[in-house]
Structure 1
């Protein structure tokens, strides 16, 4: 019995990397996901920030194009220097909610310092967990990007 290869969208995580477009060299961690929330606490203001993302396949007819991250909604529990919510923000249950200005991403660079709490990754139907549950920090940068496995 022969079967077609199944492509599953997910997140890839890896430490460091050369630039913002090319996935970093070395092993990557693959996490199956279609939607997720990336959360963190601001290092100075100590206010929680959350961003919701959807993974989207490359547009049809664009062979070889990578999948995309679509920023759907962002929330912040307050506002302070460098943490202003978007101009369309609405206060709901103690959170300023808004649609991020930059919606489409090829990936994200996350600076992970040993002096601050780690980012949290919240997958549908599961409690939020620190990023270190999937990939230990090297105290510098982690690359998160949409990828396909299968």
Structure 2
């Protein structure tokens, strides 16, 4: 079975038994929520739909996005991400991982963001 691993440089800090999830965060300056839906595959993480509540500094609404229920929804064609690299610092706040309608901050599995460990990677891995 394939699941989601969280860690850095191939070292697993946590693994989650799931096949899809939403990665969510608030823009550090504009405080606008972003969400990206991913499917976990053997090739990596496959980005599905993405949503953003608005635009601002460095966050333009992509061409072809449609406004629906207060969010701009769009799709980007990317190859599978293996790994997906994320910056994670106390100043920026934490990401949330959402699955089956429940969202948890990454701190739930990894502890709070820290200046000593300012990044995390997500990748598909066998459980």
Tell me the TM-score normalized by structure 1.
0.77
Q: 1:84 aligns with which of 60, 79, 101?
A: 60
Considering fraction of residues, name the structure with more strand. 2
**Deviation, structure 1 residue 115:** 1.4
- The separation in 2 between residues aligned to 1:118 and 1:76, in whole angstroms, is 17
Q: Secondary structure at the match of 2:107?
A: helix
> Is 2:26 the partner of 1:41?
yes
What is the RMSD of the two structures over their aligned residues, measured on CA atoms?
A: 1.4
Q: Which runs of 5+ in 1 are unaligned?
A: 1-7, 18-22, 58-66
- Distance change (3 Å), C-alpha of 1:95 and 1:126: closer
Distance 1:109 1:74, change over 3 A: same
Q: Does 1:71 align with 2:61?
A: no
Gaps of 5+ in 2: none
**C-alpha separation between the residues in 2 aligned to 1:82 and 1:103?**
23
For the 8 Å contact 1:72–1:103, the answer to whether it is kept is no
Change in 2 beyond 3 A, CA 1:102/1:112: same
**Structure number with larger C-alpha Rg:** 1
